[in-house]
Amino acid sequence: MSWQDRDNSQILQEEMVSEYPFIQYVNDGGSLEPRETTGGFAMSAEQAELLKATPNGAVEHTLIFSTGESESVFFTDWLRFVPLATRFAWVKDGNRLGGFVDGARGKLQALGYVETESGYVGPVMLTVKGMASKDLAQALREHRQAVRKATQGKAPSSFFAVLLHAGEPAMRGTKQKSRATPIVRSNEFDPDVDYIGDELADLIEAEWELYKQWAAAWEHNPGPNGDGELADGDVPVEEEGAAPTDAPAKAGKADAVPATESTKRLLTALMRGKGFTPDAIDSTLDGITADAAQALLAELKRQG
């Protein structure tokens, strides 16, 4: 028997669990070239090659680290994501810890599928650190609640996509404050529009045990940090305190946040494809807010 006949190895399946490509949240758009007014979601060219795709709407940028080194990334200020599982750890001095110690930062990873030009692709890890980990945890809780309410508890949240986008930058942190961009969940949710389809839902059902293994990998297992993040990460935002919990948090008013330029570029391309005149596009997008932009995006996608 040749090695090619051994294609059902459980060992290979477990190795693949730790090899998912990743997207990292960048807190400050000022660390990008060209600069962006907000932070957002960045996927390195290397990770995009592993995934064989890039997030929908992502545009090439250079991410400049605090060391002065840089890396080519695909950046977008919004992400349509199908969340499957999460895991959390405290990290300090390059190590993942067994619990909180003074000076440690929270690191949250969500495993899921990301929307690309060719549909949902994955699994891929979404890595967030510091205060953004609380933002993402809150957004995913709200997503679960929205799904439960809309479906009357008849379908899991992992069968529906959530739209995440960059909020309004603010000075954040407990001790040393830094400019950072919160992660915000769009309030627009329609189970008929956001359902991922039978094919992907069947695949998620079939691979659910693998996602559980991934989520459990950090439990009581301290070790070197680094999985699922860029070499230098993003500019640190000091954050201490408790890990993300299920306690509700007050959400900022997303409707006052202006839509970012990358979102406007995506809307412009979609509207051109549907035959809108340049004047109509300019009139529609002039002063458009983040929530209004996401609602328009959802409507354009609904129209096909």
254 pLDDT more than 70: no
Q: Which residue from 90, 129, 91 is spatially nearest to 110, judged by alpha carbons?
A: 129
Co-location of 131 and 26 in the same domain: yes
Q: What's residue 247's pLDDT?
A: 34
Radius of gyration of the chain (CA): 19
Whether 148 and 279 share a structural domain: no
Q: What angle do CA 151, 155, 159 make, to 5 degrees?
A: 110
| Number of domains within the chain | 2
Q: Do 245 and 262 share a structural domain? A: no
Across the range 157-167, mean pLDDT stands at 95
Judgement on whether residues 159 and 273 belong to the same structural domain of the protein:
no
Q: Are residues 146 and 20 in the same domain?
A: yes
Q: Which domain holds residue 112?
A: 3-249
Q: Are residues 154 and 99 in the same domain?
A: yes
Check whether residue 44 and residue 88 sit in a common domain. yes
Whether residues 266 and 208 share a domain: the answer is: no
Same domain assignment for residues 161 and 296: no
Residue 33 is predicted with a pLDDT of 92
| pLDDT tens track for 94-138 | 888 888 888 888 899 999 999 999 999 999 999 998 888 889 999
Q: Is the model's pLDDT at 182 over the cut of 80?
A: yes
Residue 39 in contact with residue 169, Cβ under 8 Å?
Answer: yes
Mean pLDDT score of the chain: 82
Residues 204 and 80 in one domain: yes
To 5 degrees, how large is the angle CA 140–CA 166–CA 200?
Answer: 45
Band (pLDDT 50/70/90 cuts) for residue 10 is: low
Name the percent of the chain lying above pLDDT 70. Answer: 80
Same domain flag for 139 and 52 = yes
Q: Are strands 170-172 and 105-116 parallel, antiparallel or unpaired?
A: unpaired
pLDDT of residue 246: 44
Measured CA distances, 101 to 56, 83, 87, 130, 173 (Å): 38, 29, 18, 14, 17
Sign of the alpha-carbon dihedral angle for 123, 95, 176, 245: positive
Give the pLDDT band (50/70/90) at residue 9.
low
> In the structure encoding, which two tokens stand for residue 226, read together?
């680094």
- The mean pLDDT value for 84-100 works out to 88
- The answer to whether residues 21 and 167 belong to one domain is yes
